Amino acid sequence: MNKIIHGTWQDELPKLSDNSVDLIIVDPPYIVTKEKWDRVDQVNNELSNQLFRILKPSGSFYCWGGIGEKSQTIIDWFLIFKNTGWYFKDWITWKKQRGMGMRKGWLYTREEILWFVKDNKQFYWNKEYQYHNFSGTSNATKKRFKEGIGLRISNVWADIKEEKLDGKNKIGFHFTPKPIKAIKRIVLAHTKEKDTVLDCFLGSGTTAQVCKELNRNCIGIEKEKEHYDYCVKNFE
């Protein structure tokens, strides 16, 4: 059930069944660049309602966003999701290694991730993966985990570096790929093998690649043809 679809969320999400996916990860346009795909805010009540309908009661929903002088999308989107039925769990900050911004002010080195659930009494949480470097195999790791002395992962992710860029500060055809390690962290915390993950802003295809590696199903939607072609090539 791995699908990479060339289309828009407006056209494709209504085709998905109610309560059919286990995890949703989205990285909508932040409206901060001159790229054509980054000019229109895609997050609204319609998107929120569609995602809520599609997610299982045991599922979680993660949304990447920006905060700063040029983009306050994470604040706007938080209010949309909060007011359309989602239960807010946490606000995660990704501490980046590379800074950006040539202006009067502090160097911009962060991105934000909102975590919501559909039902706070039913959401799935794999507690084994709330610790750094947990493999589940070595006796030493198991002993440390059992004794509760493993280092828990906080809601500030300072241990994840950006993906290496090439060309004009981009990977393939995409300027803003999210780190594989970050997507893995989310997928492992909230899904089991054969579960289904939805990403309706697939971008460079990181979510699909992670799902393939971790033996999860993925439904990816990407409206830009060149990004879609790049995702398919990488996935195959």
Q: How confident is the model at residue 204 (pLDDT cuts 50, 70, 90)?
A: confident
Higher-confidence residue: 210 or 176?
210
**Burial category of 212 from C-beta neighbours within 10 Å (exposed 0-12, middle 13-18, buried 19 and up):** middle
Residue 215 has pLDDT above 60, yes or no: yes
Task: Give the integer Cα–Cα distance in Å for 231 and 131.
Answer: 30
Residue 36 has pLDDT above 50, yes or no: yes
pLDDT value, residue 148: 55
Residue 158 has pLDDT above 50, yes or no: yes
Q: How confident is the model at residue 157 (pLDDT cuts 50, 70, 90)?
A: very high
Task: Give the integer Cα–Cα distance in Å for 124 and 3.
Answer: 23
pLDDT value, residue 9: 96
Contacts (Cβ under 8 Å, ≥6 apart) of 87: 116, 117, 118, 119, 120
The overall average pLDDT reported for the chain is: 86
189-203: pLDDT as tens digits: 999 999 999 999 998
pLDDT value, residue 154: 92
Least confident piece of the model among 103-112, 142-151, 154-163, 214-223: 142-151
With contact defined as beta carbons under 8 Å apart, do 208 and 4 qualify?
A: yes
pLDDT value, residue 233: 79
pLDDT value, residue 38: 59
Query: What fold is seen in the domain 3-129+155-235?
Result: Rossmann fold (3.40.50)
Residue 169 has pLDDT above 50, yes or no: no
Q: How confident is the model at residue 112 (pLDDT cuts 50, 70, 90)?
A: very high
Residue 229 has pLDDT above 70, yes or no: yes
Task: Give the integer Cα–Cα distance in Å for 207 and 38.
Answer: 19
Alpha helices (H) in the chain, listed in sequence order? 9-12, 45-54, 73-82, 139-146, 180-190, 206-213, 225-235
